[in-house]
Amino acid sequence: MNLIFPPLKEVPVGRRMLIVILCSIYSLCFSQNPIIIAHRGASAYAPENSISAFEKAIEMGAVIIETDVHQTKDSVVVIMHDLSLDRTTNGEGLIKDISSSDFKQLSIKLQKTVLKENPPTLEEAIIAINGRCKLLIELKKGNSYYPNIEKHIVDLIAKYNAQNWISTIHSFEKEPLINFAKRDSSINLQKLIVFNLPLVSFNFDKHFNKDD
């Protein structure tokens, strides 16, 4: 499949961005070496961000597992997408207000069904994956919300010598990325943004700054 466009000089300025977007989509969709990233693990086949979802992703050939981290009130880094426990567990309230021991008593909830599986800590996920694929960590909130969370993540990566397969961390917030850069310059850091362009269903994040 080939895409043929006229010379950009002949294209109105308003349409040039659309051509660039189409070329990017074409490049991603028809790449000869696609990278399979399991978003929150194989979340279409197992509960999101669970050990079973990670195992299923590895079984299905994922190259990278993407997951989200938060922190309990006693500074244990845990895996969950939301700030609160309500949607994906049988608990209630914010993760930052619960102890790690209470967190481990929770059960994962899939829609309205409570399962016989506990939500994992980041350490448990690292032990379970053990380099069988890469792990991409999304940090939802940084030090100002979860004290020293960046240090705790870097320490866990070092503890399990996982630098080769946990090499990328991304966030919508700039503060935690700066904190990571200060602690470990070898980590690949990505600033996530959401943006809005004509004919494309994205939105600019209201916190995005031009110098990010």
Does 81 qualify as catalytic in the annotation? yes
| Contact by Cβ (8 Å): 121, 100 | yes
In the residue annotation, 70 being an active-site residue is answered as no
**Residue 97, φ and ψ in degrees, nearest 5:** -100, 0
Region label for 70, one of left (φ > 0), alpha (ψ between -120 and 50) or beta (otherwise): beta
The Cα–Cα gap between 96 and 134 comes to 27
Choose, from 39, 70, 170, 207, the residue flagged as catalytic.
Answer: 39
Are 137 and 166 in contact by the 8 Å Cβ rule? The answer is yes
Q: Pick the closest to residue 119 from 132, 134, 105 (CA basis).
A: 105
Cα 98 from Cα 52, distance rounded (Å) = 23
Answer for the pair 142, 150: CB distance below 8 angstroms, yes or no: yes
From 70, 81, 170, 207, active-site residue: 81
- Picking from 77, 97, 78, 100, the residue whose alpha carbon sits closest to that of residue 148 is 77
Three-state DSSP at 66 gives strand
Catalytic residues: 39, 81
